[in-house]
Amino acid sequence: MHILIVEAPFYTHIAAMQRDGVTDALKAAGATWDVISVPGALEIPAAIAFADASGQYDGYVALGCVIRGETYHFEVVAGESARAIMALTLDGLAIGNGILTVENEAQAIARADKTQKNKGGEAAAAALAMVGLKQRFA
């Protein structure tokens, strides 16, 4: 399996932890991968759609982190990025959603760190599982 990791590295240290979890999981599964970066979580679904048109990838892992701030922006970014990723999955794309939506940096670190909650590794496992399911029904 060849997977594309699409990351929005706004918080570079959190993105690095997430990516470590993803690549460990993909390596363990014998998958290969590429990584691209986009400006923010809202751009992740579009990048996945662009990449899917190329036919180069079996599945995708979306990585980002949205931390609640003082404005409504958190709700827009968290909700719309999740909605767009779900729309792509309903169109038949195999995507593991690893976009963290948290209240603070401590929660983000706990979820990104592969020695703690390892949500990046979980997103990779989800993508691989969905690729397998898609292949089963092809």
| 23-73 pLDDT per residue, tens | 999 999 999 999 999 999 999 999 999 999 999 999 999 999 999 988 889
Q: Known binding site: residues?
A: 10, 41-43, 65-67, 70-71, 97, 111
CATH code (residue 31): 3.40.50.960
The residue ranges of DSSP E strands in the chain, in sequence order, are 2-7, 32-37, 59-67, 95-102
- Decide: 74 and 107 in contact? Cβ < 8 Å: no
**Is residue 10's pLDDT more than 90?**
yes
Known binding site for (2S)-2-hydroxy-3-oxobutyl phosphate: residues? 70-71, 111
* Domain span holding position 81: 2-137
Return the number of other C-beta atoms located less than 10 Å from residue 27's C-beta.
12
Find tokens 């092809």 and name the residue: 138
User: Any catalytic annotation for residue 73?
Assistant: yes
- Asked whether the whole model's pTM tops 0.85, one would answer yes
Annotated binding site for 5-amino-6-(D-ribitylamino)uracil, which residues?
10, 41-43, 65-67, 97
Task: Please work out, in degrees rounded to the nearest 5, the angle formed at the alpha carbon of residue 22 by the alpha carbons of 10 and 47.
Answer: 55
**3 state DSSP class of 95:** strand
CA distance 128 to 132: 6
Domain count, the chain: 1
Q: Exactly one of 2, 13, 27, 73 is catalytic; which is it? A: 73
